[in-house]
Amino acid sequence: MMVVLLTAALPVLVACLLLLVPTAAGAARMAGATSLAVLLGLVLQRGLVGESRVALMVIAVLTSGALLGKSYGTLRHRGIAASLFLLAGHGLALAANDLRLVLLGWVGGPMASWWLSGLEPRPTAEGRRFRAMAGLYGAASTACLLTAVTLAARLAAAKGLPAFDVATWRELAHDDGFLAVDILAILAIAMRAGLVPFHSWVPVVACDAPVLTAVLFVCPLSSLALLDRLALTAASLGRGLHPVLAVAGLLTSLVASLLAIAERRFAKVVALVVMSQTGTAFVAMAVGSELAVRGAHAALAVVSLAGGALLLLSSQVEARFGVLERGTIAGIAQTLPRLATFAMVGTLALIGVPGSLGFVGSELMARGLFEEHPVLTLVASASSALASMAMMRSTFRIFFGTSFRVPKAIADGRFHELAALSWLLAVLLLGGIFPDVFMALGPRGPNVSAATLPLLE
C-alpha cells in the first residue's frame, strides 16, 4: 500500500496543486522534485519485485529529466500535470496487486494526459493528430485489457481463486481457457509498446507531442515489466517459445530498423531505433531463457533512458534551429559543442557500445537467445545492426557533418538542460562500469547469477 501511495497518489496530488503555482518554471521544479522524491522512495523500498522496481525508477528519472531539462518558456501547467498523471498511471499499474487498479493505472494515466493535451488554448495540427491517434489506440487497448481481466475473473471464480488478484494469473497460466486472456492482454500491451502493426503512433508522439509526454510514452520498459507481472511471458508461463511475442517482436525489430534507415528527421530516427530495440527485447521475452530475460530488462532500461535523453536533447536543439533533418542542417557541433557531445554519448549508449550498460544488456540477450534459438538470434542481431547504423548516420550527419545553414549567434546548452542530460546519461555509463549493481535490481532466477558472472567479470 505504501508503494501505491508513493508512486500513484503523490504525483496525482501534486498535479492537482500545480495550478496554484504562479509560473510554469516553478511548476516544473515542483513536479521534478516530486519525481525525484518518488525515485528516492523506490531506492529505499524493498517491497517491489525487481522488474517493476527498475521500471518505475527509470520512469521517475525520465520524468524529472524531462521536467527540469526543458526550456521553461515553452512549458504549460497542463503539460506538466500530464507528465505527473503518466507517472502515477505507471506507478499504479506496476505496484498494485488488484487487477482493477492495474487496469485503472494502465489506462487512466495516458487518458488523463490525452485529456489535458486537448485543453491547450491553440492546439496545432500536429497536436490534434497526436490526440486522435492516442485516443484510438487508448480506446482499443482499454477494450482488450478490460476483456482480458473479465475473462480471467470468470476463470478464477470457476476455480475458487481470488478474481482480481494479480497472482491469480500465474495460477491460471496453464489452464486451456487462459489462452484468450493471454492474447488479449498481449495485444493491449503491444499497442502501448508500439509493436507492429500498432506502431504508427510512435513517430507521431516523438515529433508532434509535447516533449514531456513523448519521453514517457516512448519508454518501453513499463510494458515489459507488466508482461512479467501478469505472467504473460514464456518464462512465467513455464513453456517454450511464445509465438505471439516472438512474431510481434521480430516483425517490429525488422520493420523499425528499415524505416529508421530511410527516415530523415532525428527525433523519428530515435523513436524508430527505440522501437527496433523494443522488438528485440520482446523476442528475448518470448524465448523464456533466464539469461535472455535479464538482458531484455537491462536493454530496455537503456533504451528508455538513452531514447528519452535523445528526445529531450532533440527538443532542446530544435528550439534553437527548427526541425532537425538530415540533409537540411548539419555541423551543429561547431555551434553547440556541449549538446553535440551529449548527443554522441546518448547515441553510443543507445546502440550498446562496450563500456555502456547497453552493451551488457545486448550481450545477455544475444547469449540467452542463441542458446535457445540461433536463427532468431541472427535475424534479431541483423535488425539491431541496421538500427544502429541508422542512428549513427543520423547523429554524425546532423551534428558532425559539413556545416551549412547553421546560425552562429546561438547559445550552447544551458545549465538546467545539461544537468538533466547528465544524470540520464551518467546512469548508462556507470552501469557499463559497474553492471553487477544494476543487474542486481532486475528480475531474479535461480540460474541467472551463475550464468552472468563470467560476462560481468
Taking phi over 0 as left and psi of -120 to 50 as alpha, with beta for the rest, 414 belongs to beta
Q: What is the mean pLDDT of residues 379-390?
A: 88
Q: What is the DSSP letter of 162?
A: -
What is the reported pLDDT for 117?
A: 63
CB 284 within 8 A of CB 295: yes
What is the reported pLDDT for 406?
A: 60
What is the reported pLDDT for 50?
A: 67
Range of lowest pLDDT (86-90, 212-216, 317-321): 212-216
What is the reported pLDDT for 239?
A: 62
Q: Is the pLDDT of residue 31 over 70?
A: yes
Q: Is the dihedral of CA 188, 193, 198, 204 positive or negative?
A: positive
CB 260 within 8 A of CB 254: no
Q: Is the pLDDT of residue 443 over 70?
A: no
- Percent pLDDT > 90 in the chain is 3
Q: Is the pLDDT of residue 455 over 50?
A: no
Burial class (CB in 10 A: 0-12, 13-18, 19+), 428: buried
Q: What is the mean pLDDT of residues 408-420?
A: 75
For residue 76, what are the contacts with CB-CB under 8 A and spacing of at least 6? 24, 120
CB 435 within 8 A of CB 364: no
At residue 392, the 3 state secondary structure works out as helix
Cα angle value 22/25/27 (rounded, 5°)? 60
Residue 153 and residue 156: Cα distance in Å, rounded?
5
Q: Tens digits of per-residue pLDDT, 88-140?
A: 888 888 888 888 888 888 888 777 777 776 665 566 666 677 677 777 777 88
Q: Higher model confidence: residue 445 or residue 4?
A: 4
What is the reported pLDDT for 147?
A: 92
Q: What is the mean pLDDT of residues 407-416?
A: 72
Residue 122 and residue 125: Cα distance in Å, rounded?
10
Q: Is the dihedral of CA 114, 117, 118, 124 positive or negative?
A: negative
What is the reported pLDDT for 123?
A: 60
pTM: 0.84
Cα 149 to Cα 17, 165, 378, 408: the distances in Å are 33, 10, 36, 57
- Percent pLDDT > 70 in the chain is 86
Q: Tens digits of per-residue pLDDT, 195-211?
A: 888 887 788 877 777 77
Residue 448: pLDDT band (50, 70, 90) is very low
What is the reported pLDDT for 457?
A: 38
Cα 12 to Cα 31, 47, 178: the distances in Å are 10, 22, 34
